[in-house]
Amino acid sequence: MRILGIESSCDETAAAVVEDGRHILSNVIASQASEHMQYGGVVPELASRRHCENILPVVRQALDDAGLTLNEIDGIAVTYAPGLIGALLVGVSFAKGLAMMSGKPLIPVHHTEGHAAANYLVHPDLEPPYLGIIVSGGHTRIAEVLDYTTFRTVGKTRDDAAGECFDKCARAMGFPYPGGVHVDQAARRGDASAFRLPKTKMEGNPYDFSFSGLKTYIVNLLHTADQRGESVNKEDLAAALQQEIARVVTEKTVAAAKALGYRQIALSGGVSANSGVRNALLAACEKNGFTLCMPPVALCGDNAAMIAAQGYYNYLAGITADETLNAVASKELRGETAGICS
Ligand code: KG4
Ligand code: ZN
C-alpha cells in the first residue's frame, strides 16, 4: 500500500511516498529555515505563505521521484496537529483537495506520532509495544507506544521543549536560527565541566520535563557577562548545555523504561539529531541491556516520510477523516483524549 504523506506544520514543506509504512519511495523537503533565519525564529505568517507557494511543486516532485501518478497512490496522509495553525491549514486544505479529486482516503496524522514513526522507516524489526522518547522543537515526551495507533504519555514538558531550550540558548550565544545544530557543533570543541549548570527540581510526575529554568539561567548568564564586558567561552557553555539536556532526557527515559518494564526504546524528533543526546542514551541503553532505535539524522527533523509511515498504520486501524477535517494547533496523542478522529 502506497501512502502519500504531506507535512506543513512548521517551516518545512514536505511530501513523500512510503510503501507499507516502511519503505521510502520518495522524500522531498523544501526548508524555509534560511528565510526565517534573518528574524531569529519562524515567522508564522511567512511560513504559511511559503507553504502555499511550495506545496504543489513539492507534492508533484514526491510523486515524480517515486515514479507514480496520483492514481497509483492508495491514501493521502496529512499532518493536521499540532503546529502553527496557518501552516497546518495549507497542508490540510491541499490534502483535502487531492483526496476529493482522486477519491483516495484522507488520513489525519498527529505530528508527534509521525516523529515516532520515523523509526519504522529504518528499523524493520521495530514493533510496538515499546517506549518512545520524542524530543523536538515544540515537544518533549516519553510515551508508551502500546500499538501503532495507541499512545500513553508517561511524561512531557511542563514548559519549554528541549529543542526550544537549545534554540533560545543558541540565540543568546549568537548562533543563527535554528540554533540546536550549532550548539551541537560548538559542543564538540568545548569542555562541559567548565560550567556548573543548575539541575531542575520538580514535584509530581518524575517523568515530566522542565527546561525553562535551564534556558533562563543560560540567557541570564550571557546577558550578565555582556553587561560586565566579560567574555564567555561559547564552546564550553554549549558543551555544558548539551550535556545537561542529554542527561535529563537519558535519566528520565531509562527510569521510565525500568519502572514500566520496557526493554525496547525508540528515540525520535528533531533533537534526536543531537550527538550528545544520541550518545548518552545509547550508552545508558547498552549499560542497562535495552535496545535503542533512533532515526538517521536525515529523518530526525520534520519530513513527510514519517507522516506517510504513521498514515499507513492509521489507515489500517480505520483512522481516516472526512471532508470536515480541520487543523488543530495543540492536541494530545491518540488514545489519550477523544480526538476528532478517534
Ligand atoms: O522535530 P523538529 O524538526 O520540529 C518540531 O517538531 O518542533 O525539531 C526541531 C528542533 C529545533 O529546536 C532544532 O534546533 C532542533 O530540533 N535540532 C537540534 C539538532 N538538530 C535539530 N537540537 C540539538 N542538536 C541538533 N543537532
Ligand atoms: Zn517536528
The response to whether residue 273 sits with its C-beta less than 6 Å from ligand 1 reads yes
- Please name the residue that has the C-alpha cell 507514480: 68
For residue 318, pLDDT over 80 is answered with yes
Query: What pLDDT, in 10s, does the model give residues 150-172?
Result: 999 999 999 999 999 999 999 99
Return the ∠ at Cα 69 (arms to 66 and 71), rounded to 5°.
130
Give 99 Cα–ligand 1 centroid separation in angstroms: 31
The response to whether residue 153 sits with its C-beta less than 6 Å from ligand 1 reads no
Ion ligand 2 — residues with CB under 5 Å?
Answer: 136, 302
Query: What pLDDT, in 10s, does the model give residues 193-247?
Result: 999 999 988 999 999 999 999 999 999 999 999 999 999 999 999 999 999 999 9
The response to whether residue 167 sits with its C-beta less than 6 Å from ligand 1 reads yes
Residue nearest to atom 24 of ligand 1 (CA): 274
Give 266 Cα–ligand 2 centroid separation in angstroms: 16
User: Which helix (H) or strand (E) covers residue 81, if one does?
Assistant: strand 75-81
The whole-number pLDDT of residue 339 equals 31
**Closest C-alpha among 340, 258, 272 to residue 303:** 272
Amino acid of residue 232: V
Closest atom of ligand 1 relative to the 111 alpha carbon? 6
Query: What pLDDT, in 10s, does the model give residues 117-128?
Result: 999 999 999 999
Closest atom of ligand 1 relative to the 170 alpha carbon? 14
136, 214, 275, 281: which to mutate for ligand 1, most atoms within 8 A of CB? 136
pLDDT-above-90 percentage for the chain? 94
Q: For residue 172, which phi and psi values (nearest 5 degrees)? A: -65, -25
Give 137 Cα–ligand 2 centroid separation in angstroms: 7
Cis preceding linkage at 128, omega within 30: no
Q: For residue 149, which phi and psi values (nearest 5 degrees)? A: -130, 15
37, 157, 165, 181: which to mutate for ligand 1, most atoms within 8 A of CB? 181
Domains and CATH numbers, the chain: 2-118+300-341 (3.30.420.40), 127-294 (3.30.420.40)
The whole-number pLDDT of residue 201 equals 87
The whole-number pLDDT of residue 333 equals 83
Average pLDDT over residues 114-119: 98
Return the ∠ at Cα 105 (arms to 104 and 107), rounded to 5°.
135
Average pLDDT over residues 264-291: 98
For residue 291, the cross-strand partners are 264
Give 68 Cα–ligand 1 centroid separation in angstroms: 31
Q: Given strand 106-110, what is the order of strands in its sheet? A: 23-31, 12-19, 2-7, 75-81, 106-110
The response to whether residue 243 sits with its C-beta less than 6 Å from ligand 1 reads no
Element counts in the chain: helices (H) and strands (E): 10, 10
Instruction: Quote the CA–CA distance of 145 and 265 in Å, as a whole number.
Output: 10
Query: What pLDDT, in 10s, does the model give residues 251-277?
Result: 999 999 999 999 999 999 999 999 999
The whole-number pLDDT of residue 336 equals 67
Cis preceding linkage at 105, omega within 30: no
Q: How many CB atoms lie within 10 A of CB 294?
A: 24
pTM passes above 0.85: yes
